[in-house]
Amino acid sequence: MRTPRVDATIFGTASLLALPFGRVAPEQLTACVPVASDDAAALVGSWLSADRTVRLQLGADGSYRGSVEGRHRPATGTYRPEGSGLVLRDDSGLRTPVTVAEHGLEMAGHQLFKA
């Protein structure tokens, strides 16, 4: 079995500690609704991790803005549907896969829920 690898170079200390210690039940968020991967329009809007350390804003125009607690500069760029999810491409060219899960998005080891 392959274990997921988290590239720690992109996270600050607060974000790294939030991965193992910051788990909050999805019920504690304001909305937890099923997400369809075949409807890209349903993915537009604000997404938030349960511990509120990761935020992702997907625009209807294909742009995104993301922030991670502990990072000083937010990530901005574009996204496009690919396979069963999305691919984010930031202004530097870095590509980040985002998987559409049953009740939200999974990105870089974080589960995001519709805010």
Task: Specify the pTM.
Answer: 0.67
Helix (H, G, I), strand (E, B) or coil at 13: helix
Cα separations in angstroms, 54 against 1, 34, 38, 71, 83: 27, 20, 24, 10, 23
pLDDT of 39 reads 65
Element of type H or E holding 65 = strand 63-68
CATH class, range 8-114: mainly beta
What are the residue ranges spanned by the domains of the chain? 8-114
What is the spatial distance between Cα 106 and Cα 49, in angstroms, rounded to a whole number? 9
pLDDT digits (tens, 9 = 90+) for 75-102: 999 999 988 889 999 988 899 999 998 8
Is the CA virtual torsion 91, 97, 44, 26 positive or negative?
Answer: negative
Share of the chain above pLDDT 90, in %: 47
